[in-house]
Structure 1
Amino acid sequence: MNRSTILPHFLAALSAIIWGVTFISTKLLIAEGLTPLAIFIYRFILAYLCILPMMRRFLAANLRDELTLALGGLAGGSIYFLTENTALGITFASNVSLLICTAPIFTVLLERAIYKTPLRKSLLGGSMIALTGVGLVIINEGMEFEISPLGDFLTIVAALLWSSYCLIVRRMAKKYDTFFITRKVFFYGIVSVLPFFIAETDSSDYALLAHNVVWMNLLFLGVLASMLCYLMWNVAVRSLGADKAANYLYVVPLVTIIASSIILKEPFTVYTFTGAIAIIGGVFIAERGGVGIKRTSTSAMTENA
């Protein structure tokens, strides 16, 4: 690491650390009474308002691309975050952050199914290791007899949705810049669920925004975790390259586990630790063995923030 890359390395690491805390922030908002839908709407509106001044074009080049971007807003926006946030309400934040790490593996498998991308031995081996880690996390939850496995299932669904979004980003990135794609995802994510939000929200729900813990966490999620981290991450990717910057993504679940243990007093058991090592190690091996996964994972995680 030379002097010219110190700042990009720092920005990549800082982004990963902040993203690791977003699971805790969301869980705190749910505890305050906000619904997963409300958290998503407030977060995306803040992020959209932040990125709006950078708008260079309003519509895609054709209707097909516009519809594809709208699908991205569902798969990587509204449906994804609603599924993930619902899971956070019924399972440990550390569990969610770990299971979401299987998304790159699902991405490679979808690439294989759609684009006939060859599978390598390291990919298959890494997938098995990561899935073993998933099993350990679920076993840990079952042994505690405190939470329904539904949260784990919803997290896996969220990972599959994110994988689908990765493929959409991969396709659209050939035609449009990342600012335009991200803004479109924010927009369609908001409009796809805004009617439901208006219908189920009353004045007492809006009153929650006056609570310090609520608006502070929403500002963190919308402005810092979504907008600022997106900018920092792109500086890191532009300077270091996607492959080197992507390595910092594996810091996210470790930060979540540590933060969950400290802030939420969630148990840190040997199963959780072993599952964490297996998932992170397996995904790392699989990512090294998958063609194009580095680029896809990096592009996608900028929007998960």
Structure 2
Amino acid sequence: MTTSATGRTRLDWGTLGLLTFPPLSWAGNAIVGHYAAGAIPPITLNFARWALAGLLLAPYVWRGVREHAAALRQHAGVIAAMGMLSVSVYNAMQYLALTTSSPINVTLIGASAPIFLLIIGALFFRERVRGWHVAGALLCLAGVGVVMLRGDPARLAQLDFVAGDLFMLAGTITWSAYTWLLRKKRPDLPLAVLLFAQIVAGVAACVPFVAWELLSGSVPIHWNGKALGILVYVATIPSLLAYFAWDRAIARAGAQLPVFFFTLTPVFAALMSSALLGDWPRWYHAAGLGAIVAGIWIANRR
């Protein structure tokens, strides 16, 4: 990333790739999560995803974990909260959402996370809110509302929401709370060590819910080539690789610009849904995306 004589930043191809890869991966995660419905229970899929990701990461971070053992013990409470909010709750909510909602809807609702960041920051962290912040938040929430109502205001009077949309809305709020915790309380640890510690905490928090899901027998597990392929994909591409790419992108491009690339996730999800699932976008998807992007742009303008 370079700066021109006029003071404007110009993206190099490396930074552009780092910014684009995570939303592309997360869109793929939504498609695969929808495809997994009926083959692997959603909470079990989330547990297996992060357990495998932790096992793959362990050989590379074990020395760092031992070197930072004292800091890990000191910040155990914060790390446990981070792991529960991100690995356990948010990702489980997303897979639960995909059992009844479409990948396009789920990623559009998830794209509103920057606005919930603004709201949570104002309510709980005393962040200053300006007029354009409020305008952007309202516009973004209107976009989410259009998607959740499927463009039909009559659904609001009937409270006829798809359960998956509500799960994803709750998950997006949870992710926003995690992001603030990461920003305000992040332990001074290397990225890989912190990620591994969060995975361990999140996987441990998943255990009772996985046990309940398996004992209830609502969705039997079919371990075959399809299920194993899904598991390997979600444990590597949208988990480990996308996480590291996003961290490097923020380090190179700053905190503001990646927010706009985050909104590419529903665009990629729409293209993939059309090509792979035959799920063509509707007019309310375009209207919702436009409102969300405009709201984020207004809220983040200087």
Q: Same fold (TM over 0.5)?
A: yes
Q: Give the counterpart of 2:271 among 229, 239, 258.
A: 258
CA distance, structure 2, for counterparts of residue 263 and residue 143 of structure 1: 30
Q: Give the counterpart of 2:28 among 21, 36, 56.
A: 21
CA distance, structure 1, for counterparts of residue 206 and residue 187 of structure 2: 28
**Mapping 1:119-268, distance limit 5 Å:** 119-140=129-150, 148-173=161-186, 175-198=188-211, 200-201=213-214, 208-209=222-223, 211-268=224-281
TM-score by length of 2: 0.84
Aligned counterpart, 1:77: 87
Shift of 1:190: 0.5
Shift of 1:241: 3.0
**Mapping 1:108-127, distance limit 5 Å:** 108-127=118-137
Aligned counterpart, 1:270: 283
Identity of aligned residues (%): 22
Matched, 1:97 2:142: no
CA distance, structure 2, for counterparts of residue 6 and residue 156 of structure 1: 34
Identify the range of structure 1 (75-84 vs 56-65) with the bigger mean alpha-carbon deviation. Answer: 56-65
SS in 1 for 2:136: helix
Distance 1:148 1:264, change over 3 A: farther
Letter in 2 for 1:131: L
SS in 2 for 1:187: helix
Q: Give the counterpart of 1:35 among 34, 41, 62.
A: 41
Distance 1:50 1:141, change over 3 A: farther
CA distance, structure 1, for counterparts of residue 211 and residue 288 of structure 2: 40
Q: Is the 8 A contact 2:41 2:221 kept in 1?
A: no
Cα shift readout 1:67-92 (whole Å, capped 9, x = no counterpart) = 12111111112122222211111111
CA distance, structure 1, for counterparts of residue 70 and residue 261 of structure 2: 32
CA distance, structure 2, for counterparts of residue 207 and residue 79 of structure 1: 21
CA distance, structure 1, for counterparts of residue 281 and residue 153 of structure 2: 13
Distance 1:200 1:249, change over 3 A: closer
CA distance, structure 2, for counterparts of residue 101 and residue 112 of structure 1: 19
Identify the range of structure 1 (155-164 vs 167-176) with the bigger mean alpha-carbon deviation. Answer: 167-176
Letter in 2 for 1:16: P
Please report the RMSD computed on the Cα atoms of aligned residues, expressed in angstroms.
Answer: 2.7
Q: Is the 8 A contact 1:169 1:181 kept in 2?
A: no
Aligned counterpart, 2:116: 106
Cα shift readout 1:140-169 (whole Å, capped 9, x = no counterpart) = 175899x85222221111111111111111
SS in 2 for 1:117: coil
CA distance, structure 1, for counterparts of residue 11 and residue 300 of structure 2: 27
Identify the range of structure 1 (41-50 vs 134-143) with the bigger mean alpha-carbon deviation. Answer: 134-143
Q: Is the 8 A contact 2:82 2:182 kept in 1?
A: yes
Letter in 1 for 2:49: R
CA distance, structure 2, for counterparts of residue 223 and residue 269 of structure 1: 31
Identify the range of structure 1 (270-279 vs 255-264) with the bigger mean alpha-carbon deviation. Answer: 255-264
Cα shift readout 1:217-262 (whole Å, capped 9, x = no counterpart) = 2211111111122222333333333333443212111111221222
Aligned counterpart, 1:297: none
CA distance, structure 1, for counterparts of residue 11 and residue 168 of structure 2: 39
SS in 2 for 1:89: coil
Q: Which runs of 5+ in 2 are unaligned?
A: 3-9
Say which one has the larger Rg.
Answer: 2
CA distance, structure 2, for counterparts of residue 251 and residue 269 of structure 1: 17
SS in 2 for 1:208: coil
